[in-house]
Amino acid sequence: MTVKTWIAPSLTALAFALAACGSGAPETEETVTDPVEVAQTQASSLPEITVTSEELEGNPFLETWDTPYGVPPFAEIEDSHYMPALKQGILEAREEVAAIIANSEAPTFENTILALETAGPLVNKVAYTFSNITNTDTNDTLRALEGEVWPMLTRETDALYLNPVLFERVKTIHDQLGTLGLGEQEARLVELMYRDFERAGAALDADTKAQISDINAQLSALTTQFAQNLLASTKAFRLELSTPEDIAGLSQDFLAGIQVEGEDKWVVTLDRSVFETFMTQSENRELRGQVFDGYRLRASEGEYDNGPVLIEIAQLRAKRAELLGYESHAAYQLETRMARTPAGAEEFLLSVWRPGLERAKEERADMQAMVGDAFTISGEDWWHYAEKVRQARYAFDDNALKPYFELNAVKAGAFEMAQRLFNIELTEVEVDGWNPVVVSYDVTDLETGEHLGLFMTDMYARDSKRGGAWMSTYRGASDIDGVSTRPIVTNNLNLTQPPAGQPTLMRFDEVETLFHEFGHGLHGLLTQIDYERFSGVDGPRDYTEFPAQILEHWASQPQMLEIYATHYETGEVIPTELIDRMNQASTFNQGFKTTEFIGASLLDLAWHNLSYEEAMAITDARAFEQETLQAYGLIDEIEPRYRSNYFSHIFAGGYSAGYYAYLWSEILDADGFYAFKEAGDIFDPETAARLKQWVYESGGLLPADELYRNFRGSDPSIDPLLEIRGFKELESEG
């Protein structure tokens, strides 16, 4: 899950990368004492930006988008439009912020906080679109532009947050907060904006701020390079199948999805959906080994080697944390999250790791017993033989489920769930998307008739699209001075697209992913927060997965399956006995799933809990990785879900020192869903109303633990999580 786009989660329109004030020639070196001149001196170090009227002529970003729901006019936007529009937006933003700095009136909420919150709309407009398109339909030109755009935005953002005059104005308002009589949302905006400035280093001396700004620029370039290396390395792998031995065990619907058009050949790629299906179904152990190595060795050698890149990222993050006064990047990151400290996150992970690892060893023994002395089970065998053991133990074949999980029916089921829980309706509408496969829906409050937002779905993998599944936004939500703006939210999956006219049949884990991302989508769509800074998907990483993960529970409930799990050919509702076998098998292979996930989480913490001195001593990424995982006792047959070289969540996304958040949020979602169980109805109106009000509508209005308690009435218990994973007995024994 990435949640919002790169720019949306933290800075709102305030920064989406704005400068502190105007650019120009460098100032002289004489001592400057006037605070406004100090700010201008700092800003003058920014490169001069120029853009001509000829470059802007016909640029769609400068127009009001008279399109359905105000979506970007994708067909009109060319690659060459991004940079001129971005430059113009930055120039306009610099002027707006310069006016705030030069204001001689005493700082107020309106002339400082609100002015910063609403500054830079053109930058915002361009960056939202650019960030989304480079994730879904990139090309060589856009990849090259990323190397310019993100460092430019980072530099401008730093100039804002490290500006002493802006910080002093924000601090003045924050210090007077108790006497200003502001509303709840306005007071929260002040608190969060002050925290943003302070944590960016605004209170530090000029030399330290200059170092931080330089580090941020380097990190922006390096994280972009990491992502591009990973994409190129992933797309470079192609395993061609052409003989009966090559395709032994592969289902017909899977073969149809990977067949070369017009030929009796099939191509296996490293898209996660293709990878897991091939590893589960293929009877050819040699080919499983090739695909397994292709996946785990991505971006590990040659021109796309991410090893040196990620080491430098870890070193720079550690140095920045030291400059900001923290022992490590993890200590800095977790300060504002529910776990609070790296030790707190690690302690939690280990409480689930220990029973998970014991269960994984039992699972390994079961598989070895099945193959006997033929060979020793290794990593490329786990998916395949785990499925065989499951079929033998539960008489349950995952492929038997797929005809009941057709994409359109699954989406309709998710929408029906949202209607019953939150009294909303999603209606398909004709909107031109960024790709022909995009399908869009108008989201409406059934009680008031209010338009809540536009929901756009992009379900299929393609070479121009990054891997994984995520929610993002093309436009955030706000309601300022009587002008209400509702969000444009997207969900992206990477399903294998079937041949024309054939249904898209899903594995059940893909169904759960759809429900998960829809949860993120609803978090963005249902928001009732007026200020984009904390509307929609907001909050600490170890909380923001909760609104997504809790909806996964509905996907497997018999009452829900009766609604959406119908055979794509006959219309037959999924048989009760098949549901029973599926639920009986739900805790199967949880040792593997838990261990691979927590292995990656512990690896993330290890990289980011390094002091600067420790980070500088790292020279070999794989050696550090192996040493870390061996110390925790990871067995050889299980790889962490992400090796460092392709761990984009932490080295190219927003989850550094935070990948544990998915499991932490599982405490919340398991305990939260148990509230519906206690009520005796998975659609209980009172419980659903509290969930809607305090979770989906409230964004970051309150600290995450307060939001959860307001919904649940108490702090969460870990017991439902351990029970769901089948570890309750193992935990008590431990």
| Domain shared by 178 and 257, yes or no | no
The residue behind tokens 């769609």 is: 60
Query: Does residue 558 sit within a domain?
Result: no
List the strands of the sheet with 451-460, edge to edge: 424-429, 439-445, 451-460, 488-495, 470-475
Query: Does residue 119 sit within a domain?
Result: yes
- The per-residue pLDDT for 470 is 96
**CA torsion through residues 705, 706, 711, 717, sign:** positive
Query: Does residue 28 sit within a domain?
Result: yes
| Domain shared by 116 and 245, yes or no | no
- Please say whether the beta carbons of 691 and 668 come within 8 A: no
- Residues 66-81: b if buried by 16+ CB within 10 A, e if exposed: eeebebbebeebeeeb
| Domain shared by 70 and 196, yes or no | yes
| Domain shared by 94 and 138, yes or no | yes
- The per-residue pLDDT for 585 is 87
pLDDT bracket for residue 726 (50, 70, 90): confident
Mean pLDDT of 522-540: 96
Query: Tens digits of per-residue pLDDT, 393-431?
Result: 988 787 889 999 999 999 999 999 999 999 999 999 999
Residue 12 has pLDDT above 50, yes or no: no
Query: Tens digits of per-residue pLDDT, 418-469?
Result: 999 999 999 999 999 999 999 999 999 999 999 999 999 999 999 999 989 9
Domain boundary among 176, 203, 230: 203
| Stretch (H or E) spanning 631 | helix 621-632
Query: Tens digits of per-residue pLDDT, 686-713?
Result: 999 999 999 999 999 999 999 999 999 9
Mean pLDDT of 143-166: 94
Mean pLDDT of 535-546: 93
Residue 24 has pLDDT above 90, yes or no: no
Distance (Å, rounded) from C-alpha 292 to C-alpha 276?
10
| Domain shared by 103 and 22, yes or no | yes
- The per-residue pLDDT for 45 is 63
pLDDT bracket for residue 375 (50, 70, 90): very high
| Domain shared by 189 and 257, yes or no | no
Domain boundary among 159, 183, 203: 203
Distance (Å, rounded) from C-alpha 374 to C-alpha 148?
55
Count up the domains in the chain and report the number: 2
Distance (Å, rounded) from C-alpha 672 to C-alpha 679?
11
First to last CA, the chain: 32
Q: Write out the residue range of the structural domain in which residue 179 sits.
A: 8-203
The model's pTM is 0.88
The backbone torsions φ and ψ at residue 313, rounded to the nearest 5 degrees and listed phi first, read -60, -50
Query: Does residue 554 sit within a domain?
Result: no
Domain boundary among 255, 281, 297: 297
Active site residue 552: no
The backbone torsions φ and ψ at residue 138, rounded to the nearest 5 degrees and listed phi first, read -85, 170
3-state SS record for 231-249: HHHHHHCCEEECCCCCCCC
| Domain shared by 131 and 262, yes or no | no
Residue 218, phi-psi category: left (phi > 0), alpha (psi -120 to 50), beta (remainder): alpha
| Domain shared by 191 and 242, yes or no | no
CA angle 168, 169, 174 (to 5 degrees): 90
Query: Does residue 108 sit within a domain?
Result: yes
Query: Does residue 419 sit within a domain?
Result: no
| Domain shared by 100 and 197, yes or no | yes
Task: Select from 218, 224, 267, 225 the least CA-distant residue to 242.
Answer: 267
Query: Tens digits of per-residue pLDDT, 331-371?
Result: 999 999 999 999 999 999 999 999 999 999 999 999 999 99
Exactly one of 363, 517, 637, 697 is catalytic; which is it?
517
Query: Tens digits of per-residue pLDDT, 569-600?
Result: 999 999 998 988 888 888 899 999 999 999 99
Query: Does residue 633 sit within a domain?
Result: no
Distance (Å, rounded) from C-alpha 320 to C-alpha 464?
34
Residue 26 has pLDDT above 90, yes or no: no
Residue 609 has pLDDT above 90, yes or no: yes
Beta bridge partner(s), residue 453: 443
**CA torsion through residues 594, 599, 604, 609, sign:** positive
DSSP string of 375-427? ----GGGHHHHHHHHHHHHH---HHHHGGG-BHHHHHHHHHHHHHHHH-EEEE
- The per-residue pLDDT for 386 is 96
| Domain shared by 95 and 242, yes or no | no
- C-alpha torsion angle, residues 215, 216, 218, 224 (rounded to 10): 150
The CATH number of the domain where 73 resides is what? Answer: 1.10.1370.40
The backbone torsions φ and ψ at residue 485, rounded to the nearest 5 degrees and listed phi first, read -120, 120
pLDDT bracket for residue 681 (50, 70, 90): very high
- The per-residue pLDDT for 29 is 31
| Domain shared by 169 and 57, yes or no | yes
Which residues are within 8 A (CB) of 506 and not within 5 positions of it... i.e. 6 or more apart? 402, 405, 406, 407, 410, 495, 514
| Domain shared by 165 and 85, yes or no | yes
Q: 86: exposed, middle or buried (C-beta count within 10 Å: 0-12, 13-18, 19+)? A: buried
Query: Does residue 77 sit within a domain?
Result: yes
Q: What stretches of 201-284 show up as alpha helix (H) in DSSP?
A: 206-236, 252-258, 272-281
